[in-house]
Amino acid sequence: MKFRVTAVWIALLLAPLAHAVDSFVVPNSSEAVEGDSNNTIPFSSEGGNTRYQQVYLDSDIPPGPFTIYGIAFRPNGIGPVQPNFSFQIPEIDIFLVPTDENTNLSTDFEFNVGIGYQLVASGPLTLTSAASGPVGGPLDFDIEIWFDQPFEYASGNLLLDVLVWPYESTGSPLFDAVNSGPDPVGRVFSAGINGGSVDAATGIADTQGLVTKFMLV
Encode the chain (217 residues) as per-residue pLDDT tens digits.
Answer: 433 333 334 443 444 444 456 999 999 999 999 999 999 999 988 889 999 999 999 999 999 999 999 999 999 999 888 999 999 999 999 999 999 999 999 999 999 999 999 999 999 999 999 999 999 999 999 999 999 999 999 999 999 999 999 998 767 899 999 997 778 999 999 999 889 999 999 999 999 999 999 999 8
Amino acid at 137: G
CB 170 within 8 A of CB 27: no
User: Which pTM value belongs to this model?
Assistant: 0.89
CB 119 within 8 A of CB 149: yes
Cα angle 132, 36, 182; round to 5: 135
